[in-house]
Amino acid sequence: MIPFSVLDLSLITRGHGPADAFRNTLDLARLAESLGCARYWLAEHHGMPGIASAATGILIGQVAAATRHIRVGAGGIMLPNHSPLVIAEQFGTLESLFPGRIDLGLGRAPGSDQRTAHALRRDPHAPERFAHDVEELLHYFEPASEQDTHLVRAIPGAGLQVPVWLLGSSLFSAVLAAQLGLPYAFASHFAPARMEEAITLYRHRFTPSARCPKPHVMLGVNMIAADSVEEAGHLATSLQQYFIALRRGRPIAFPPPVADTTGLWSAGEQAMLDHALACTLAGSADTITRRLAAFISRHQPDELLLALPVYDHALRRRSLELAMTLRDGLAAGMA
């Protein structure tokens, strides 16, 4: 059966603060490791009241230190916000501290609004240089000769085997990942519109490399598994409220679920939710198993990346436990 991994935004829930979010992240990472998840990824966002993972590299280090063997990484670092050399040094440091456990996923979105992007000193033309910056970053991980004194070197970083992924929700990153021979993760958990086209293009154009000898596709899904369909539907209203606020340009702390969503958003906004969150698996283990089996059969991902947008941390843990149980059931059924 394909590996399941976790994408954690280190959610700041309403009524709580970043310190609570970090405690929950460390706890969930330990659970993910104990359940057999392949990776635990954190995402770079800035100025978001509901997301605490802004200092992504620091948090990755804390998660890696709190676990023993699960791979930990970025899903992803928004490279246009940074110098490629600095990111190579940061992830070279992490790889040196936690050998064989660090992943570096790269995206080109700002991970913030325009005012926050300006405060980050983000160059407005940086996304246009994304392909060049990715290649520069890859170069910093290449072994460096002592004779190459004229070259800029990442120390630590040079010669370290840090897996680099490209992340995206459009065709651009799919084509670039294929050209560079890198694994590819698609953000289908919030932007599924071009998923099929992107992964088809990636697989068709893929050029094998030493880093990745064959195409490797990871697809994101929102996993809201509960003990009943009704409970899962109730829990899913948190994600719906959060997404509506984000699309209205007024991001909020991650809200508790509500019993009735009538009047909270328009019919047009409901249509947007249905489209943008189409890759959301909310239900009981039985209902999710059928949808998940169909999703895997249709898209043939090499790996799934599970976001767990559940307000209550105990129920978020329960959602992951159920997800891994149904994964094992699927594997047994396929065998």
Write down the mean pLDDT value for the chain. 93
b/e code 140-151 from CB counts within 10 Å (16+ = b): bbeebeeeeeee
Q: Are 253 and 12 in contact (CB under 8 A)?
A: yes
pTM: 0.94
Q: Is the dihedral of CA 93, 96, 102, 103 positive or negative?
A: positive
**Please, which residues have CB within 8 angstroms of residue 275's CB and are 6 or more apart in sequence?**
192, 193
**Please, which residues have CB within 8 angstroms of residue 204's CB and are 6 or more apart in sequence?**
178
Token pair 């609004």: residue: 113
pLDDT truncated to tens, each residue of the chain (335 aa)?
A: 899 999 999 999 999 999 999 999 999 999 999 999 999 999 999 999 999 999 999 999 999 999 999 999 999 999 999 999 999 999 999 999 999 999 999 999 875 667 777 777 667 777 789 999 999 999 999 997 766 656 889 999 999 999 999 999 999 999 999 999 999 999 999 999 999 999 999 999 999 999 999 999 999 999 999 999 999 999 999 999 999 999 999 999 999 999 999 999 999 999 999 999 999 999 999 899 999 999 999 999 999 999 999 999 999 999 999 999 998 877 665 55
**Residue 271 to residue 29: CA distance in whole angstroms:** 34
DSSP 9-67: --B-BTT--HHHHHHHHHHHHHHHHHHT-SEEEE----S-TTB--SSHHHHHHHHHHH-
Q: Are 181 and 207 in contact (CB under 8 A)?
A: yes
Closest CA relative to residue 191, chosen from 303, 108, 275: 275
Instruction: Kindly report, residue by residue over 266-291, the tens digit of the pLDDT.
Output: 999 999 999 999 999 999 998 999 99
